[in-house]
Amino acid sequence: MSLVLIVLLPFIGALFPALMIRAGRNACATTTFIASLLAFVLLLSHAPAVFRGEVVQAGWDWLPALGLNINFFLDGLGFFFAGLILGIGLLIIVYARFYLSKDDPMGSFYTYLLLFQGAMVGIVLSDNILLLLIFWELTSLSSFLLIGYWKHLPAGRQGARMALTVTGAGGLAMIAGMLILGEIVGSYDLSVILQNGELIQASPLYLPALVLILAGCFTKSAQFPFHFWLPHAMAAPTPVSAYLHSATMVKAGLFLMARMWPALAGTDAWFYIVATTGLITMLIGAFIALFKDDLKGLLAFSTVSHLGLVTMLLGLGTPMAATAAVFHILNHATFKAALFMNAGIVDHEAGTRDIKRLGGLLHLMPVTATLAMVAAASMAGFPPLNGFLSKEMMLHEVADTTWGGQGWLMGLLATIAACFSVAYSLRYIVHVFFGPQRTDYPHPPHDPPAGMWLPSALLVVLVVLIGLFPDTVAGPLVAVVARAVTGGEVLDYHLAMWHGFTPALGMSAIAVVVGALLLMRYRTVRAVWQAGPHPEAKAGFEAVIGGLVTTARELIHGMHNGSLQRYLGVMIAAMLALGVSAYFSSPSAPGSRELLPATPVAVAAWLLLVGACVSVVLQHHQRLQALLTVGVVGLMVSIGFVYLSAPDLALTQISVEVVTVILMLLALNFLPKHTPAEPGRGRHLRDGLLAVGAGLGVGAAAWAVLTRDAETLSGYYLEQSVPGGGGTNVVNVILVDFRGFDTFGEIVVLGVAALAIFALLDGALHGAAARRIAGWVPDQPRAADRHPMMLAVATRVMLPLALMVGFYIFLRGHNVPGGGFIAGLVVAIALIVQYMASGFGWAAQRMKLDYHGMIGWGVLIAAMTGLGAWVVGHPFLTSTMWHFELPLIGEIHVASAMFFDTGVFLVVVGATMLALANLSRLGRRAESLPVNAGPMDVDPSLDRTVEN
C-alpha cells in the first residue's frame, strides 16, 4: 500500500497550500515541502528492494471486466523517474518560495505544482495502461494550469493553450494505441504487456499501435514536428520551467518510450521512426537555440535538442544505446534544472533575461556565475562533468550505427548537433557573465538569497560528483534502470572519463573546436541565419487552429439551424437506412413462436390507442387538446402493461402520466397556446413518410423479437431475485440491486434536471423575463372561484389516506408491486392535489419542506447505501438482508435495498415538488405584477410562499 500512498501524497498535499497561505508564505511552502518529502522518503524506503532487482507491486481490482485495475509497480525505471520527480520537486518548492513575488498567489501555485507532481508519479508507477492514461491526461491539465499561472500575461495564456492542444491531441492518439496493445495481448496490465513483445511485434496491428503510441510520446516530449509548444511554455514562472524541462512533462514521453522498449523496440519501424525523429529534433533544437536571445528560450530549445538525443538513443534499439539514454536523462535533469533556476536568478536580480542586455555579471553575481558556468559546461559536454560522459556514450553509439545503408550519416549529423550544443552553451556563459560591466541593467545585479541559489548549487554538486566518480555515484542506479528498460538485457560497460582514443573522442573534440569557432564568429553566423527564412511555428499553429475553428463553425451553422424537426428527421432517416440495410443484407426466417389470440377488449384498446395517437398528430396545433390526448395514450399504455401482467410498469406509467400532465399544464400556461403555421405540404409529406417508416420499423423489430425464441437475462433474475436481492418483486430487485448503479445514475439525472428547472424558472423572475411576464395578459377567461370548497375539503380529507397509501406502496415494493419510485410519485400526486385545490400559498405555508435538501439527501442516502457495501468488501450497491424477531409481531425481514429505495423516494418527491413550486411561483408573479412593472417595481414578498 505504500506505493499507492506515494502516488496519493502529492494529491492529498494539494489540499493544504491554499489553506496554509493564510498562515503565511513560509507555512504554505513548508506544508508543500512536507507532502513531497514524505512521498520521497517512502520511495527511498523501497530502494534496497529495487537495487536487489525486485519489483514491488500493490493495487486492487476496480473494474476487472473492463481490465481497469488500480495496480502500481516499482522497478528500476519507475524508481528512477519517481526519484527525479520528487527529488527535484523538493528543490523547486524551495526555489519557488523565494522566486515568487508577494503579488503571486502562492497557495494556488503550490496546489497546481502538487497536482502536477502527483500525476507524473502516477504515470511512472502505473501497472495498468488505462490507469496510466488517466494520469497522462492529468499531466496535460495540470501543466496547463502551471504554464498559464500568470493569467494576466497573454503569452502565458497562449502557451498554456498551445501545450494543452498539442499534448492533448497526442494523448488521444496514444489512448487508441494503448487500447490496441491491450487487445493484442489480452490484458491492460503493463507487466503482462512487457512480457509479450514477440506477440505484439508479430501482430498486424503492431504498426498502427506503434505510430499512435509514439504520437503521444512525441507530442509530450516536444519531438519534431511538435517541438514548437515547449519554447512557448516558457511564459510560465521559472520554477515551472525548471520542473517541466528537467524531471516532468517532457520526460513523460521519454519515460513511456523507455517503458515500452521491451515490447516495441527492435524492429525497423521502431528504428526509423524513433531514431530519425530524435536525430532531426536534436539537430533542429540545437541550431535554433544558438540564436535565441532570451535565456529561457535558449534553454528551452536546448531541452528540445537533448530530448531528441535521448529519443534517438532509445530508437537505436540496442541495450547499450538504451543505457546511454538512461544515463543522459539523469545528467540532463541535473544540469538543466540548475540552469533554469540560474536563468530565473538572473532575471529576478538583473530585471531581464535578454542576453543582448546582459554581460559582465561575473563580478556582480559571482555565486550565480560559478554555478552557471559549471552547469552550462556540462550541457556542452566538457570534461570532467557528467554531460561529457553521456555525450561520449551517445557519439560512440551513433558512430557504429548504419542508417539507410550509410554508416557515416548519423555520426555526422550527431556531431553537427554537438557543435551547436557547445556553441549555445558557451554563449550562455560568455555573453551573460563575461565582458565589461554595463550601466544599463534594469535592476542592480547581485547574488540572491541562499534560498534561491542553494537548490541550483545542490544540483551542480551532483553534476561534478557524477562526472568525477561516475561508477560510484551513478553506476549502480544506471545499471538497475537499464536492466528495467531492456528487460534484463544489459551489456558489460564501464562509466569512466577516459576510454582511450576512440572515434567518439574525436567527434567530441571536433564539436568543441567548431562550437568555439561558431561563438567567436557569432555575428557573422547570426547575420547568415537572419538572412534566411524563419518560419514561425506559433503563427502556423494559430493559423491551423483558426482554420479548424472556422471550418467547425461553418459545419455547425450549416448542419444545426435550430430546427428540432430537422435534427429528428435526419436521425430517424439515418436509423431507417441502417435498419433497411441490415434487413436486406442477410437472410431472415419467420418466427417460430405461436401467436396469442387478440381478444375484443385488446382490439378495442388498441384502436383507442391508435386513435389517440392520430388525434395528437392531427390536433397538435391545439396544444391543450394535444396534451390531454397524450395523457390518454399514456393511460392506454398503462392498461397494456396490466394486460401483459406488468403491474409495476403500469403503476409507474400511470403515476408518471398524472404528474407529467399536471406539470406540463402549468408550463403550458406560459407558452403559446397554438403552434405557428407550418410551411408547405412537402414537409408534411416528408415527415409523414418518416414517421410511418419509423413506426413500421419499430413494429417490425418488436414483432421479430416477440415471435422468436431467445435466451435472455430474465431467467437469471427470476432465479436470483430472492437469494441474491432478498425480494420476490423481480422488477424492484432489478432496479435497486442488480442494476442499482443504473438507478443511482437516473436519480442523479432527475435531481440535476429539477435543479436546472429551478435555475431556469428562477431566472424568469428577474430582469427582462420578469418584465415580459408582468405584461402578460391571459387569453382565456378565469374562473371566479379558483379553489372550490368541495375540492379543497375533499383533498384535505384524502391527504392522510394518500400518504398512507404511498407509505404502504413503499414498504411492500421489494416483494410485491411498488417501491420507492412509485411511492414517491404517489406522494407527489397527493401533495400536488393539495396545491391545486387550496392554492400554492396555503399549501406552502403548511408544508415547509426544503425540496433542494430533499433531493440532496436522497442522492446522499442512495450513495451511502452503496458505499456501505464497499466498507464490508463487497461491490458498490451490493445488497444484504437481515432477519430478526419482534415480540407480538413476529419475524421481520429487511433488505439494505430499502435504504437505497428511500433515497429514490426522496429524489422523486423533491424533484417533482421543486418543479411544481417554481412553476407556481412563476404563475403567482404573473398574476400579481402590474402590467407596466419595471425591475424596481417588483415586490420581494412575492418570492415568498405566502398567500395573497
Do 660 and 797 have their domain in common?
no
Give the Å distances, CA to CA, from 603 to 79, 423, 600. 74, 92, 5
Asked if the model's pLDDT at residue 2 lies above 50, the reply is: yes
Whether residue 868 is contained in a domain is answered as: yes
Do 397 and 541 have their domain in common?
no
The DSSP result for 38-75, as a single string, is: HHHHHHHTTHHHHHTT--EEEEEEEEGGGTEEEEEEE-
CA distance 386 to 391: 9
Residues 188-213 pLDDT 10s = 889 899 989 889 999 999 999 999 99
Between helix 623-643 and helix 600-618 the angle, nearest 10°, is 160
Residue 891: its pLDDT value, please? 67
Count the domains in the chain: 4
State which residues form the domain around 901: 711-948
Please choose, from the candidates 263, 264, 269, 267, the residue with its C-alpha nearest in 3D space to the C-alpha of residue 193.
263
Low-confidence winner among 123-132, 347-356, 612-621, 850-859 (lowest mean pLDDT):
612-621
Residue 775: its pLDDT value, please? 66
Three cell numbers written together for 490: 544489459
Do 433 and 560 have their domain in common?
no
Whether residue 688 is contained in a domain is answered as: no
Do 522 and 542 have their domain in common?
no
CA distance 934 to 767: 8
Three cell numbers written together for 391: 555525450
Do 346 and 493 have their domain in common?
yes
Residues 747-766 pLDDT 10s = 999 889 888 888 887 777 77
Residue 799: its pLDDT value, please? 86
Residues 54-99 pLDDT 10s = 889 887 777 777 767 788 999 999 999 999 999 999 999 999 999 8
Dihedrals φ, ψ of 876, to 5°?
A: -55, 130
Whether residue 117 is contained in a domain is answered as: no
Q: Where are the alpha helices (DSSP H) in 707-764?
A: 714-725, 730-733, 740-763
Do 364 and 339 have their domain in common?
yes
- Residue type for position 930: P
Give the Å distances, CA to CA, from 777 to 39, 670, 780, 926, 932. 68, 10, 9, 9, 12
Please state the pTM of the whole predicted model.
0.72
**H/E element holding 890?**
strand 890-895
Do 649 and 547 have their domain in common?
no
The DSSP result for 167-216, as a single string, is: HHHHHHHHHHHHHHHHHHHT--BHHHHTT-HHHHHHSTTHHHHHHHHHHH
Please tell me which residue, 850 or 288, carries the higher pLDDT value.
Answer: 288
Whether residue 946 is contained in a domain is answered as: yes
What integer best gives the mean pLDDT of the chain? 85
The mean pLDDT of 552-562, rounded to a whole number, is: 81
Residue 518: its pLDDT value, please? 92
Last residue of a domain, one of 551, 577, 603: 577
Do 521 and 560 have their domain in common?
no
Residue 941 is given by DSSP the state G
Do 319 and 450 have their domain in common?
yes
Residues 488-505 pLDDT 10s = 776 667 777 777 778 888
**H/E element holding 884?**
strand 881-886
932 — pLDDT class (breaks 50, 70, 90)? very low
Residues 404-421 pLDDT 10s = 778 788 889 999 999 999
Asked if the model's pLDDT at residue 706 lies above 90, the reply is: no
**H/E element holding 832?**
helix 820-838
Last residue of a domain, one of 530, 559, 592: 530
The 3-state DSSP class for residue 126 equals: strand
Whether residue 872 is contained in a domain is answered as: yes
Asked if the model's pLDDT at residue 938 lies above 50, the reply is: no
Residue 44: its pLDDT value, please? 93
Whether residue 595 is contained in a domain is answered as: no
Do 487 and 552 have their domain in common?
no
CA distance 551 to 557: 10
Whether residue 88 is contained in a domain is answered as: no
Residue 627 · residue 797 · CB < 8 Å: no
Three cell numbers written together for 94: 524551495
Strand-pairing partners, residue 536, are none
Whether residue 113 is contained in a domain is answered as: no
Do 632 and 748 have their domain in common?
no
The 3-state DSSP class for residue 460 equals: helix
Residue 580: its pLDDT value, please? 87
Residue 890: its pLDDT value, please? 66
Do 404 and 481 have their domain in common?
yes
Residues 25-52 pLDDT 10s = 889 999 999 999 999 999 999 999 999 8
Last residue of a domain, one of 675, 694, 723: 675
